Amino acid sequence: MNHKPLILPKVSWDTKVSSTTYGELIVQPLEPGFGITLGNALRRVMLSSVEGSAVTAVIIKGVNNEFSMIKGVVEDTLSVLLNIKEIVVKNTTGVAGKMYLSKKGEGPVTVGDIKTDAHLSVINKDHVIANLAADGDLEIEFFVETGRGYLPAQWPLGQAVQPDGRIYLDAMFSPVRRVEYHVEQARVGERFDCDKLVMRIFTNGAVGPQDIVHYSTSVLRTQLEHFLLAKEIPFNEISQLTVEETEKEHKTDVESPTKGLPVELFLKPIDELEFSVRAHNCLVGAGIKRVIDLVNLTEDDVLKIKNFGRKSLREVKEILTAFGLSLGMNVKELDLKKALKEQEKNGQ
């Protein structure tokens, strides 16, 4: 059976705002309705199923339960435990491990004072765990485990107090703090009904936003492939062939100087393409004021523009693609004028 192709999206990250705790993912163009379908599925998996590490138990010297007072420590044990729950742990192997803290003398005790196993590290080093008095002496052994989602404190049944003084903690393993998404309209050639998906991912810094998306996508694919009743339909190959065939048609269609796009689009000012201020000013400064002036340039031509780097080039190519345009189109203005006259003659 011959299947119709699907629009294959381009996935990119907004590098202007990216950090270890925040990422903005842009996916376009998508088939109509796919923005909400993919955005909601990815969001739910990111919030519920991404692995992370957290402190699940501690041994505090001189303390055997969470309601005790710690000599020389301003806070009570319960407050210290609540602060310990906020420690952000990065685990490079996924294997359980331990961390240690030993601090004496007056002043704050922070996460930065903790020593960890080789495969562990702490992220929020300025976070305060406790404050010590002049005679303060705080020693803590932390037990770190890996998991998904939320895990209640795993107290052994029938034992109110542990022989080694261990205190078990609730753990929130997920490194994802918040995920937002919204869907916009995108254009592909003469189609205006495609979707553009924008996702904003906030993490605690233990796992980067890009790794979060990679993990979540792997989870979804692993689950969905079990729904296949036969060999997977190769939509990627089908869609790629369609793109290549379309490009051939454009190349051999000598009667279509505008590559099948509206003539007026090429004569519009580049202001309507909504480039960033930096890219726009560089182009205008180089005398490129209309769309036709831009699409007739090659990538090398654009990179020769003063102060125009590869980051700006990538932005220009993405925006042109959204309008069905590209660099190096070699559209002649004389042909555009002839096409306009032809439209006027036909009453278009």
Fold match between 51-172 and 257-345?
Answer: no
**What average pLDDT does the structure give for the chain?**
86
Question: Higher model confidence: residue 333 or residue 31?
Answer: 31
- Token readout for 45 is 């998996």
pLDDT of residue 167: 94
Fold topology of 257-345: DNA polymerase; domain 1 (1.10.150)
Predicted confidence band of residue 145 (pLDDT cuts 50, 70, 90): very high
Q: Where are the domains of the chain?
A: 10-49+176-238, 51-172, 257-345
Question: Higher model confidence: residue 329 or residue 124?
Answer: 124
Tens digits of per-residue pLDDT, 37-70?
Answer: 999 999 999 999 999 999 999 999 989 888 888 9
Domain 10-49+176-238 annotated CATH 3.30.1360.10: yes
CB of 287 within 8 A of CB of 269? no
Domain at 51-172, CATH class: mainly beta
pTM for the model: 0.67
pLDDT of residue 251: 45
> What letter does residue 337 receive in the DSSP assignment?
H
pLDDT of residue 254: 38
Return the number of other C-beta atoms located less than 10 Å from residue 80's C-beta.
23
Question: Higher model confidence: residue 162 or residue 139?
Answer: 139
- Preceding peptide of 29 cis, ω within 30°: yes
Spatial separation of the C-alpha atoms in residues 339 and 348, rounded to whole Å: 11
Burial of 212 (0-12, 13-18, 19+ CB in 10 A): buried
Predicted confidence band of residue 252 (pLDDT cuts 50, 70, 90): very low
Does residue 178 carry a pLDDT above 80?
yes
